[in-house]
Amino acid sequence: MGSGQDEMKRKADVLEDLGLLNVENLQNNMKIIYYSRTFLSIIGGVIAGIFGITGVTGFICYFLIMAITSLGFVAKADFSIKAYFNSWNQIMLDGFLSGLLEGPAQMIKYHSPVPSPFSHHPNRSAFSTKTISLRPPMAASTTPSLQTKSSATDTQFLTLMDYVGTSGEDVGDDLVVLVSHLEFACKRIAALVASPFNSLIGKGVDFGSNAGDDRDPPKPLDIVSNEIILSSLRKSGKVAVMASEEDDLPIHISDNGPFVVVTDPLDGSRNIDASIPTGTIFGVYNRLFELDHLPVHERVQLNSLQSGSRLVAAAYVLYSSATIFCVSFGSGTHAFTLDHTTGDFVLTHPSIKIPSRGQIYSVNDARYFDWPEGLRRYIDTVRQGKGRYPKKYSARYICSLVADFHRTLMYGGVAMNPRDHLRLVYEANPLSFLVEQAGGKGSDGKNRILSMQPARLHQRLPLFLGSLEDIEELESYGDVQQKLNPGYEV
């Protein structure tokens, strides 16, 4: 199967996971898309090569051909395929323009005529022709090249895969392969979150199916995200155990994988209807080889309950106006932004340093009267500008952990949930690791998060994350953990 068909199949995999794709028509749909690109590339190449048509005349020819061919292609296409792509006509437009503008030599090869947002940098050519693709992750059975030759690297822009090789931190071949698969999984989740049907998917609502269709019903987004991550970890060949918010128990993946991954696959998924930012959280540990003699159920449990101080890497991915992959391998915290024209996460925030003080607190202060006295006094003090920092604090609260944490990491201050609500293993530990690597602190109000030993996979606790001086001032008030929990509906 050609590279164009491979790309379409990877995108179609998302719909197949959801049960929204008519599997019987999958091959036909891919052929329609692939041959539409190829056909229009050839037509454009012939016109450009034989007649030398450019400029206005070329675009007139394009619109005439589009008017004729699009009717036939769209009429044959399955609805679910068309719904997935932002614009059905854009597929054919790209194919035609690649032939028209690049000539017969580029007839079949699919290129994007649209420059990358990063191409406007003075050190980079204004016309990027990098192939659009969701590149498949590195094969587990091969040793990846640690130096990815890309236009981003050549012009002082590092991709995430460049960075984990010799261009940034040399994290080791095994971790490079794992990061490649995590990156790929998050691109698939980002596509689902950005889908016009995400709210329906989030509710498990079926749509577009025919009467009598025996396909499995669609699944909620957080469940689908969990399955995408599990599939990627299995394919990496580098993971022994996965522990997730969506699973009651840790999952044994392999006896040979060197890593253990803990994850919250889609934090904030209940806010999908309102298009509020969501996120994915990861923590990566080394497998405890000394436990290999134990029965499987015991060793997967113990591998999942490692202290946060043993983390090898941690990351969150923010799905918002931009898709941001923020990661630390123990030598600083760095954020990479997804360039949708190239499919690469590009380094945009190297060596993040959280301000030692912020001027923002993030908490649901509708619970103010359920808070302990110490926490009420702290909030009253800082918002009046009477704390150790003589400026009045402002409140900013999204009710999405990854989004609130990301803003705090960028601007400083403190993000908190004072009641026993957030999970130590796959929320508090990874985010505390990231904030400490950026110069901040993670606390439960009394103790350092990364020093705590988990007792249960889904253990909950209060969580305070943010600027070092802000967290230390908050802890000085003593009684900041909310024990009263009357049960909140929202």
For residue 207, the model assigns a pLDDT of 46
Q: Is 328 helix (H, G, I), strand (E, B) or coil?
A: strand
Residue 124, in any domain of the structure: no
Residue 139, in any domain of the structure: no
> CATH number, domain at 249?
3.30.540.10
Q: Which domain holds residue 91?
A: 3-112
Q: Is 402 helix (H, G, I), strand (E, B) or coil?
A: helix
8 Å CB contact between 127 and 151? no
Closest CA to 424 of 446, 445, 444: 444
Residue 97, in any domain of the structure: yes
Choose between 315 and 13: higher pLDDT. 315
- In this predicted structure, the answer to whether residue 42 has a pLDDT above a threshold of 90 is no
Model pLDDT for residues 186-211, shown as the tens digit of each residue: 999 999 999 887 766 655 555 444 44
Q: Tell the burial category of 460 from Cβ atoms under 10 Å away from its Cβ (0-12, 13-18, 19+).
A: middle
Closest CA to 436 of 322, 318, 353: 353
Backbone angles phi, psi at 387, to 5 degrees: -85, -165
252 and 164 inside one domain:
yes
Structure-block tokens of residue 160: 């995430």
| In the chain, % of residues over pLDDT 90 | 58
> CATH number, domain at 419?
3.40.190.80
341 and 438 inside one domain:
no
Say whether pTM exceeds 0.95: no
Rounded (10°) CA dihedral 360, 362, 364, 367: -70
CA gap 29, 26 in Å, rounded:
5
Choose between 52 and 441: higher pLDDT. 441
Q: What is the 3-state secondary structure (H, E, C) of 173-184?
A: HHHHHHHHHHHH
Confidence band for 341, pLDDT divided at 50, 70 and 90: very high
CA gap 349, 186 in Å, rounded:
19
Model pLDDT for residues 141-191, shown as the tens digit of each residue: 443 333 333 333 344 689 999 999 866 788 999 999 999 999 999 999 999
Residue 296, in any domain of the structure: yes
8 Å CB contact between 61 and 93? no
338 and 370 inside one domain:
no
Taking CB atoms within 8 Å and a gap of at least 24, the contacts of 194-199 are 194/319, 195/84, 196/83, 197/20, 197/83, 198/272, 199/272, 199/273
Confidence band for 273, pLDDT divided at 50, 70 and 90: confident
155 and 205 inside one domain:
yes
Confidence band for 4, pLDDT divided at 50, 70 and 90: low
Residue 117, in any domain of the structure: no
In 120-216, at which residue ranges do the beta strands (DSSP E only) sit? Answer: none
169 and 224 inside one domain:
yes
For residue 216, the model assigns a pLDDT of 54
8 Å CB contact between 249 and 457? yes
Based on the structure, what is the number of domains in the chain?
3
Q: What is the mean pLDDT of the chain?
A: 79
Q: Is 338 helix (H, G, I), strand (E, B) or coil?
A: strand
Model pLDDT for residues 109-136, shown as the tens digit of each residue: 333 333 344 433 433 333 333 333 344 5
